[in-house]
Amino acid sequence: MRWRFYFILIVFFLVTGVLIGRLVYLTVLDHPFLLKQGNARSLRVIQTPAYRGMILDRRGDSLAISTPVDSVWINPKDFPDTRDNILPLTKALGISVAQMHDLLKRYSTKEFAYLKRGVTPDVAQKIQVLAIPGVYLQREYRRYYPTGAVASQELGFTNVDDQGQEGLELAYNNWLAGEPGEQRVLKDRYGQVVANIAELSPGKPGRDLNVSLDSRIQYLAYSVLASTVKEYDAESGTIVVLNPKTGEILAMTNYPSFNSNQRVTKKNKSMRNAAETDMFEPGSTMKTFSIASALDSGKYTANSIIHTAPGYFKVEKNIVRDEENNGDITVTQVLQKSSNVGVTQMTLSLPPEHFIDLLRRVGFGDQPQDGFPGESAGKFFYPQQWHPFALATLAFGYGISITPIQLAQAYEIVANDGLHCPLTFLKRDTAVTCSRAMDEKAAKSMLAMLESVVTNDGTGFKARLKDYRVAGKTGTAYVAGQHGYNWRNVNSSFVGIAPVSDPQLVVAVVIRKPHKSHYGADVAAPAFSAVMSGALHFLNVPSDKLTSGQVSV
């Protein structure tokens, strides 16, 4: 029996010696290898997202701001694909079991796949509580737009990676986007960061963007526009507000709109900034520039007499008509009564190049260059030789397509004594260099004549304001279709300037295909009046003296 005791004792010492030897080898001789392997499983270099700069209106109010959110990702190789893990995970994320199985199948050979981006804090907390191996949280940023649908087409939006996709977010993405940093962290077995070890490279936050928009005027314009489109059962509408002295765009809004806080998966019509992209024939708002060209020629003055009887005028084989027989009227009255016959006669009495050159100088046919991506130049084709009827229709706003921002820009020149100040979406803190686009004398005469339109004798009397002198022009243009003009569809517009004594604002209103009324005087002029009045009061612009030809309303 004694030999058995010694045998067991020897075996015990041999096993103990082997274990001690292995322990010494692992902890002393092979320590660097083990440390490397341990770090490989717990130390990670992660990218820290950069904070995207805010978009602020001219008064410092936030229009776009990035808020921290968590995204959920998975390492399919570490995820235990069991019913007990999949059911609570899909329930917390709001996805189907089928979607989960499809994702695991598609990324079976990968070590990274997003399950859901930008989840709410409540969902993130549920994921943390579940503590499922292979499922992790990652801190990111998501864009939030306090104004919602009010300025969505202008501001645009970012994608899930917080990169600009449309609008000002896209135009100034390089300015707004920061540079991500890198950090070495210690993670637990669930992939959660338990300690920050070292900052390898600091992230660089994006820069704030101060834009020219005034959120007060933007809200007002959107509200007025929405109610006008609904009241007249219109297809859509646009309002633009400019400062003619600086070229700053104070408001630009379209209706219908969309809420940029709600992620969209496909583009639709309401996402377009129609003020910059959608073209229309301007109709009678073009008469301002037909007459300006006539004044600039020196052949006509504001008091020159134009014979418009009997209310129509034959051009080649076509007839140009007025709403009524206005008889002998002055050039001012041609504009005041919006006479097609009058502007046709004046335009055809001058060389075509004179009129065309003025249209080009006020911006028709060229992009506004205001910095908005996708801005349209409109359509302004002119042949080597103009036929009289083509020139006649151009004089009262047909045969040319422009955008609402181009219309506002052209009237900015009239408001600014013939000077064009480049348009911008950025807040200007320094003086801007403006260039001559129209003769100063002609521009001053046009402003005075446009004021006569907003009187009891003019077509724009519904655009009057109680405390300010207003100048402006109505427009009503039939919409062209595949088979010619559809006489049941029109675009109604009004563009105006105030105060006349010292113009501070230009407001352009375009209502597309209204059905309960057609005329710009009835549809667009009241909307102009509401926006212009509110905007002038927001800006504390002092009232100017009313002329005897205007009345308070």
Catalytic residue numbers? 284
Contacts of 362-368 spanning 24+ positions with Cβ under 8 A? 362/289, 362/409, 362/410, 362/413, 362/420, 362/437, 362/438, 363/406, 363/409, 363/410, 363/413, 363/420, 363/437, 364/400, 364/402, 364/406, 364/410, 368/276, 368/403, 368/405, 368/406, 368/409, 368/423
Please answer whether residues 471 and 496 qualify as being in contact, where contact means their C-beta atoms are separated by less than 8 angstroms: yes
Q: How big is the chain, counted in residues?
A: 553
The CB density around residue 473, as the number of other CB atoms within 10 Å, is 33
Among left, alpha and beta (phi > 0; psi -120 to 50; other), residue 327 is: left
Q: Position 508: which residue type?
A: A
User: In terms of DSSP bridges, do strands 55-56 and 209-210 run parallel, antiparallel, or are they unpaired?
Assistant: parallel
Please answer whether residues 222 and 215 qualify as being in contact, where contact means their C-beta atoms are separated by less than 8 angstroms: no
Q: Distance (Å, rounded) from C-alpha 284 to C-alpha 286?
A: 5
Q: Position 155: which residue type?
A: L
**For the chain, first and last CA: distance in Å?**
125
Report residue 85: phi and psi, to 5°: -90, -40
Query: Which two structure tokens, joined as six digits, stand for 177?
Result: 């986007």
Query: Which two structure tokens, joined as six digits, stand for 375?
Result: 């801005």
Strand intervals (E) in 99-134: 113-119
Q: Distance (Å, rounded) from C-alpha 347 to C-alpha 113?
A: 67
- Concatenating the DSSP letter of every residue in 419-471 gives EEPPPBSBPP-S----EE-S-HHHHHHHHHHHHHHSSTTSTTGGG--SSS--E
The CB density around residue 201, as the number of other CB atoms within 10 Å, is 12
Q: To which H or E segment does residue 385 belong?
A: none
The CB density around residue 12, as the number of other CB atoms within 10 Å, is 10
In this structure, the dihedral spanned by the alpha carbons of residues 309, 314, 320 and 322, taken in order and rounded to 10 degrees, is 10
Triad 386, 388, 392: Cα angle to 5°? 105
